[in-house]
Structure 1
Amino acid sequence: MDMKNIRSQFPILDQEVNGRPLVYLDSAATSQKPLSVIESVERYYREYNSNVHRGVHTLGTKATDGFEGARDKVRKFINAASREEVIFSRGTTTSLNIVATSYGRAFCKEGDEIVISYMEHHSNLIPWQQVAKVTGATLKYIPLQKDGTLNLEDVEKTITDRTKIVAITHVSNVLGTINPIKEIAKIAHAKGAVIVVDGAQAAPHIKVDVQDLDVDFYAFSSHKMCGPTGIGVLYGKKDLLEQMEPVEFGGEMIDFVNLYDSTWKELPWKFEAGTPSIAQAIGLGAAIDFLEEIGMDNIHQHEYDLVEYALKKLSEIEGVTIFGPLDASKKGGVVTFNIDGVHPHDVSTALDMEGIAIRAGHHCAQPLMKVLNQTATARASFYLYNTKEDIDALADGLVKAKEFFSNVF
């Protein structure tokens, strides 16, 4: 990968923060945007801003072509069987809530089981808590190994003939663990369950083939993969989506409306009520073009090299505890850690004074924090525009922070 050329396409990286060159290590929260994406959104607003589907004038047609063209790009990007299986939403959270509300509440009942893991983001935990409360189903957790991975034997023991839904993250936003989704899907299907995958931390970083994985639902967000905020994707197998009722009602998703009843449009539009995020979809399409030009396998290899280097550098600092797998081949582009005796928020503040942006807190994974016996952690997350020099800056900043707080306290 030509890192100099790639970094030059992200204008936000060419700045100083607190008098130091910006080192952005918070891509798991949101990624930065290349010029091609920024310009695609600006071009829509400057040249053909219009609503989609309903108008037959020139601007409306061009906007519709851009919006629906983005759907085709998503279909190809994840290798969905048809464009009807690609639903646009506000993001991963909304996508997962659609499945929980429309499928979970309709197909779960008292005595059924919903299986998740301890490493789930709140977006893939709370919706299932609510389904369990409404339907009387039981929520079950797959045990977590000491290295932050899942054991397939534990998966087989936890998923039973009563399990109706398995909801699992593809890549943990805290531990970085890459879960064996294809194998888990096979176990779930053997027991008659469907599998719902939170792909927010996977789709931007590794090649995703939903047909090869044989997942039933897969959710991810644009803003974590170089695209705009405010739009995400729900992939669902067509036969399942056709069984589900919409969760929002109004314009765009209807076929015929009578005084006391209505019928819905066909897929994918029956789940897309109201004026959609048109500019954002066009920006997402541009982001996919950008990522595919570089190559998802190249991005994954680059992040593997960064993670391997970061694990080595941080493990050399006395008092640093790293959470999750210590084998880079088992991790996405995330390294979560703490420094003995220093609160993660203080670590983040100290690094910010050096121009280094990381994330600190519970990362929307409070149950996992309890398993780790931590109230919060610090997290550095990498993407295609990061370099080993960024990691050197992080390591140097951590040494400075450690020395500073040891003297203060």
Structure 2
Amino acid sequence: MTVTQVSAIAPNLRKDFPILHQEINGKPLIYFDNAATSQKPTAVINALKNYYELNNANVHRGAHSLSGRATDDYEGARDKVAKFINARSRNEIVYTRNASEAINIVAYTWGLANLKEDDEIILSVMEHHSNIVPWQIIAQKTGTKIRFVELTDTEEFNLQQYKTFLNEKTKLVSIVHVSNTLGCINPVEEIINLAHQQGAKVLIDACQSLPHMPIDVQGMDCDWLVGSGHKMCATTGIGFLYGKEELLLKMPPFLGGGEMIGEVYLDHFTCGELPHKFEAGTPAIGEAIALGAAVDYLSSIGMDKIHQYEEQLTAYLFEKLNKIPHLKIYGNQPTPDGQGRACLAAFNVDGIHASDLATLLDNEGIAIRSGHHCTQPLHRYLEISGSARASLYFYNTFEEIDTFVKALQETIDFFTQMM
């Protein structure tokens, strides 16, 4: 694929995203907060709308036509997700409200059943709170020890330290694929292989990788992988847990009632078959159908094309940001062609608070993030209270980067003059 072909993605697809065609404070919206949540194409909005207008009914339980159509669309979306990540079976895809719930399912089922005192869990200092707190709770309940992999001098995952942590006590490794703050792409295949050599299980947080690059769970050989729909062009309120079928079969149910039921007696119950064993109650039907529409949309573009285009955006973004004096970007630098990290930059400017930068940029119609990005331990490790973050997606353009960098420089100049 040529550069020209890849670069044509954003201009051709922006028309699919109604929210992008508006003004904020009298300026065209530039949305650079995609690591927090992505925008939704018309195809996804229509999928949700069509469910409620045409097929609104509960799934699996009704003999009437509406229920049949809703069930077909709901379960069809599961098939799409399974294909999207190359799962072996649709039974390995469990719908959840979000990735946080997916991690908690593993923690409270497999974790409580298998972890004991003196066992060890390996996390990293760059993890999202959702991949720290559940394991802290389980550690408190079981006496399991948590060890945190630190960063290299280039602020990437310290693979050498990780190797020294692995031992016969290691029972679980739970690692983010792409950091939502550092932007580094962690070597998950090697992380997984090394853990498996010690007999440990591995969970991968793929929230920041699923929307941006091809994911193959069989190629990774991860035991579990979690994703959040709202970061990959779907709605809020829907995510999924991928788990190897043999593991999901052994894990006890997380919640009781509704969809997870096989048979219920006064003195006992049986669970339904996979994947419904972990889907208690009436599910987020419309949201799951919308997730399927989002997968269709991303697949129609091609995840390889999205990844290549974002590499170009990354190279251009860093070329421009690196020219701004007194601006510190966290995480590793990309290669000249944009490889080696995600298309996001968390940064600080000497003497200027990140929230002040974000507020003044919003006055120019530019949406970025400021704060700790749900990575407080990482910010403490870096000895900073917070950071500003610009995170891009395939519907963003080189022209938007130019506007953002110009506005950022003017904002810095404004604060500098006031000092």
Range class of TM-score, shorter chain? over 0.9
1:274 paired residue among 263, 276, 281:
281
**Residue type of the alignment partner of 2:171:** K
Where does structure 1 lack aligned partners over 5 or more consecutive residues? none
Choose from 360, 382, 386 the match for 1:350: 360
**1:84-99 pair list within 5 angstroms:** 84-99=91-106
The aligned residue for residue 233 of structure 1 is 240
How far apart are the structure 2 equivalents of 1:99 and 1:231? Answer: 17
Equivalent position of 1:39 in the other structure: 46
Q: Tell me if 1:395 matches 2:405.
A: yes
Give the distance between the partners of 2:64 and 2:25, measured in 1 at CA.
50
> For the residues of structure 2 that align with 1:63 and 1:281, how far apart are their CA atoms?
10
Deviations 1:121-165 (A, max 9, x none): 000011111111110010001121121212332221112110000
Aligned pairs for 1:241-390 within 5 A: 241-327=248-334, 328-390=338-400
* 55-64 or 138-147: bigger deviation: 138-147
Q: Which TM-score applies when normalising by structure 1?
A: 0.99
Structure 2: gaps of 5 or more residues: 1-7
- Paired residues for 1:195-206 under 5 Å: 195-206=202-213
Alignment of 1:105 onto 2:112: yes
In the alignment, is residue 168 of structure 1 matched against residue 167 of structure 2? no
How far does residue 307 in structure 1 lie from its aligned partner after superposition? 1.0
Superposition RMSD in Å: 0.8
| Structure 2 Cα separation of the partners of residues 202 and 317 of structure 1 | 28
CA distance in 2, matches of 1:330, 1:371: 22
User: Match for 2:323: what amino acid?
Assistant: E
In structure 2, C-alpha distance between the alignment counterparts of 1:45 and 1:120, rounded to whole Å? 37
TM-aligned CA deviation for residue 408 of structure 1: 2.2
Percent identity between the aligned chains? 50
Paired residues for 1:122-137 under 5 Å: 122-137=129-144
Counterpart-to-counterpart distance in 1, 2:148 and 2:239: 27
For the 8 Å contact 2:9–2:394, the answer to whether it is kept is no
Three-state SS of the structure 1 residue aligned to 2:33 is coil
Mapped to 1, the partners of 2:149 and 2:252 lie a distance apart of 29
Contact 2:9–2:309 (CA under 8 A) maintained in structure 1: no
CA shift, 1:94, in A, is 0.4
- Structure 2 equivalent of residue 68 of structure 1: 75
Measured in 1, the distance between the counterparts of 2:388 and 2:240 equals 28
Aligned length: 409
Instruction: Please show how residues 110-125 of structure 1 align to structure 2 within 5 Å.
Output: 110-125=117-132
Give the TM-score, by structure 2 length: 0.97
Of 210, 216, 219, which aligns to 2:223? Answer: 216
**What displacement does 1:397 show?**
1.2
User: Within 2, Cα distance between the matches of 1:2 and 1:197?
Assistant: 29
Q: 1:57-111 CA distances to partner (integer Å, 9 max, x unpaired)?
A: 0000000000000000000000000001000000110001111111111110001
Deviates more, 1:294-303 or 1:139-148: 139-148
